[in-house]
A and B are shown apart, each in its own frame.
Chain A
């Protein structure tokens, strides 16, 4: 049920607030991702990047503000959340593959149970996506027998198997050994080239510069600065952005 109306933003967030107890983590965020756009989010640890990403499919319950996904307000209690979630693929830092299922089963199970696809169709989609992330032949392996980089690529393939309209990545390479980061970034780059709408929380500045259409810098629950990645990385306007980038670059 993809909307072809490209005037509707993929993700539109207005004045989003979120607290954990007394700790206000998001202090009025306005944020949007257009269809086909790749938006990278950077910022120091604890600045609220994961919380923002998780609010997009209501893994975190926002306190106030609006989260509109393809024109559908997901904070509206009437919204069928499970249905909206099938259109948003999420890739987590810790992979979160189902350890008691083979790779193929990981990719097939939600297609079968949620999208009600036939077994043959689900397996076909799963194989196609495994090939896409360079892991054909690993169908029968269990996640524990794969390297971190392979697990993360399986996680990407699992999300893609639901044919989502957009993909959200929360520091997808932060838990990986350095030599395994490249393979995962390569897959993400390919996705971006195919026109996938993406929101990527990352510390990989190279990826943000080369692949991102827009860069967003968050600090302490607010968006401090956003703009063209190459420009912003070379010439940050805001003091806090400068301070952060001088540490990580």
Chain B
């Protein structure tokens, strides 16, 4: 017997196990229930029906808000991350210590605890209201947590820029601040684009936690909207809206994660 044939034969039991599990699941599954609940024709089959709780609303309100919140949290987080990373690399011990404290603090807490504390704890403590409503508290929480994570990524990126780059810039008479802005940061950002894109995807998924802060109807993002649609609208009483939300999340994140792995492969080849 040829070696490859023999090898293929040893795979046969593996395929049989898989086939068995698949057959078991197929016969035990209530396909009718899945069809009616997760793929109700009111939601799935009539894409542009116009009633509340079908595709158009889910996209123009839910997906739109999800992307909006992600962009705000990512943009704010990145700005914060630059400040925190520079603090952590500062020659002043006090700055290093403060940067480290903020980063470690917000990386250690569950996002939902930060959201709840800012949305409810802070207003009670200081008898004060968020001017933009509690959704603003949630966004600030995402900025803080996202900023803490991205600060670490960025710090690693800054440190990965060869020392010779700084030395060349300084010996051309650039100040240390000018060197950072003109020479180091642009190269550091290039290094950390893949991990930052991952952070973008994580933040996008974390926007689904914002509902605990409470939000107006037109502020709902994808997950919250899908949840509301299980009790109200064309597909009420079914789980179809979750299927739709899941499809929309995939449509948004899959290209991004694919982009990241493409960039990482390209970077590896460049080495």
CB atoms of A100 and B170 under 8 A apart: no
Contact flags (1/0) for A15-43 with B, using CB distance below 8 Å? 00000000000000000000000000000
Asked if B169 is at the interface of the complex by the 8 Å CB criterion, the answer is yes
Residue of B whose beta carbon sits closest to that of A161: B172
Residue of A whose beta carbon sits closest to that of B190: A100
CB atoms of B171 and A57 under 8 A apart: yes
- A: contact size bracket: 20 to 34
Interface residues of A (CB under 8 A from B): 57, 59, 82-83, 85-86, 88-90, 92, 94, 96-100, 109-110, 113-115, 155, 158-159, 162
Asked if B159 is at the interface of the complex by the 8 Å CB criterion, the answer is no
For B, the interface residue count at a CB cutoff of 8 angstroms equals 18
Interface residues of B (CB under 8 A from A): 162, 164-165, 167-175, 178, 182-183, 186-187, 190
A110 in complex: contacting residue of B162, B164, B173, B186, CB < 8 Å: B173
Q: A100-B190, A109-B182, A113-B178 are in contact. Are A83 and B164 (CB under 8 A)?
A: no
Q: Is the interface of B mostly helix, strand, loop or mixed?
A: helix
Contacts of A115 in B (CB 8 A): 173
Q: A100-B187, A100-B190, A113-B182 are in contact. Are A92 and B175 (CB under 8 A)?
A: no
The smallest beta-carbon distance between B249 and chain A, in angstroms, is: 34
Contacts of B167 in A (CB 8 A): 59, 92, 96
CB atoms of A113 and B164 under 8 A apart: no
Contacts of B170 in A (CB 8 A): 59, 82, 85
Contacts of A59 in B (CB 8 A): 167, 170-171
CB atoms of B173 and A83 under 8 A apart: yes
Contacts of B172 in A (CB 8 A): 85-86, 110, 114, 158-159, 162
Interface centre among B168, B182, B190, by most chain A C-beta atoms within 10 angstroms, is: B168
